[in-house]
Amino acid sequence: MLKVSSINQYYRESHTLWDLSLDVPKGSVTCLMGRNGVGKTTLLKCIMGLESITDGSIQFKDTEISKLNAEKRAIHKIGYVPQGREIFSQLTVEDNLNTGLVANNSKQLPSIIFELFPVLKEMLHRRGGDLSGGQQQQLALGRALAIEPELLILDEPTEGIQPNIVREIGDIIKKLNQELGLTVLLVEQKLPFARRVASNFCILEKGRDVANGSINELDDQLIDKYLKV
């Protein structure tokens, strides 16, 4: 569904992604892994059109998207939950959700958002900043679902979230994948979470892809070499 081939990316003169390739098969939950600073967030931003690449290609459902701006990519049905969630704390829950519609042509929020996250309906007129961390993550997920994406991209969705809510978020991702057929690409540092939720993995090291496979191939040797801090 998503195929990144040999991309290079620079922050000014700093070469950050090196001939990086990533394959996200349709129907998979692919977990992007690697230590802090290896380029996981940068890769997701390149996919979303928030950072530009110097060469290589990014194909979504056989369409080359690397030359399209970020709004156009959303139209191609890629939903994105950024690291740190980026909720507008002064806006209401409703207005936060509506910002997710901007890139879309439809005017109405899909009802699935409130079916998955009933708490958002209850808190529709509260300010985003008044929500707990777990509720804000649900809001960020709901906002990404406003365009009814086919591919959902999540950058560390469990970062700074209480353990009991982490499990809930894992259940929601599995449900979106298994029941609604969404393909998911997520960055996740927690191994038990990755093993429970993901079907595939890809590991980055210093801006390069160094290992990938199905999640049951993620063995201790790879973990020691690339993931242990």
Ligand X SMILES: Nc1ncnc2c1ncn2[C@@H]1O[C@H](COP(=O)(O)OP(=O)(O)O)[C@@H](O)[C@H]1O
Which residues would be at the binding site for ligand X (CB under 6 A)?
A: 11, 14, 16, 34, 36-42
CA atoms of 173 and 167, how far apart (whole Å): 10
CA atoms of 87 and 68, how far apart (whole Å): 25
Where helices occur in the chain by DSSP H, the ranges are 40-48, 70-75, 93-99, 112-116, 118-122, 133-145, 163-178, 191-197, 220-222
Q: Which is nearer to ligand X, 40 or 73 (CB)?
A: 40
CB of 226 to ligand X, least distance (A): 12
* Single-letter residue type at 205: E
CB of 198 to Mg ion, least distance (A): 17
Q: Binding partner of residue 221 among Mg ion, ligand X, none, CB under 5 to 8 Å per kind?
A: none
Residue ranges binding Mg ion (CB under 5 A): 40-41, 83
CB of 113 to ligand X, least distance (A): 27
* Single-letter residue type at 216: N
CB of 32 to ligand X, least distance (A): 9
Q: Which is nearer to ligand X, 40 or 85 (CB)?
A: 40
Q: What angle do CA 196, 183, 88 make, to 5 degrees?
A: 90
Q: Which is nearer to Mg ion, 45 or 73 (CB)?
A: 45
